[in-house]
Amino acid sequence: THLESCHAYEISLHANGTYRRNFNGDNENNPNKQSEFTVTAKLIEQLSTSTIASHRADIWTMSPPCQPFTSTTNAKRLDGRDPRTAGFRAIMRLLDDMTAQSLSSELIHAHAASPKWIVVENVKGFAGSDTLSEWYDCLERNGYGWREYLLSPMQLGIPNHRKRYYMIAERDSERFGRLRGGESIRETLPCMLEMNEEAIRRRPLSDYIDKSMTGDE
């Protein structure tokens, strides 16, 4: 799918280099090569409401730091007490501020600057966390419905066997409800109901490696 524009914010210079290559790189097959693209090395906490609103993005995608929620060895699982959740809370404040400004300003139509869709990815342990509960509250007061999933990329033939949490939220949604976790979290996608495991082609890892980076022909 071609993107008209993509604006990324990430503090890691290595991640930013990857974004540049994926969305505006030298690869002639890149469908987004001519997109308006910017990537900025900046903490989410440093972003202003006006900056984010100016993008008028249709969709926000995010993967907040997973360390507060991971169940790996020696993980402290501090949830909202972990300072690394500050960026996610900053996003909640931005969304609240954008909605408030939209509703109070004659220059901006209601919800015009807030995204139609928001996609969140994190570790499985994010489900049931206090931080997720805060996120539910934020989405609800800003007019979003949502749907949650626990999925492994292997279910779609991608060679990475690691179950992850996914949420897609939609503003003014007529198809998504506001159920919170528990049994409402789905472990399959609608398209997968029509497919059996054999029907999903298992792609080798080599399909995902850029041959120009490895020197292979």
Q: Would you say 116 and 59 are in contact if contact means Cβ atoms under 8 Å apart?
A: yes
Residue 145 CA to residue 141 CA, distance in Å, equals 10
Nearest to 123 by CA among 152, 165, 88: 165
- Of residues 6, 66, 138, 191, which has the active-site annotation? 66
Burial class (CB in 10 A: 0-12, 13-18, 19+), 127: middle
Residue 122 CA to residue 159 CA, distance in Å, equals 18
Active site residue 138: no
Q: Would you say 169 and 146 are in contact if contact means Cβ atoms under 8 Å apart?
A: yes
Q: Name the 3-class secondary structure at 117.
A: strand
CA-angle at 9, arms to 149 and 137, nearest 5° = 45
Residue 60 CA to residue 28 CA, distance in Å, equals 26
* Helical segments of the chain, H only: 13-24, 49-55, 86-104, 130-141, 211-214
Residue 76 CA to residue 68 CA, distance in Å, equals 7
Residues known to be catalytic: 66
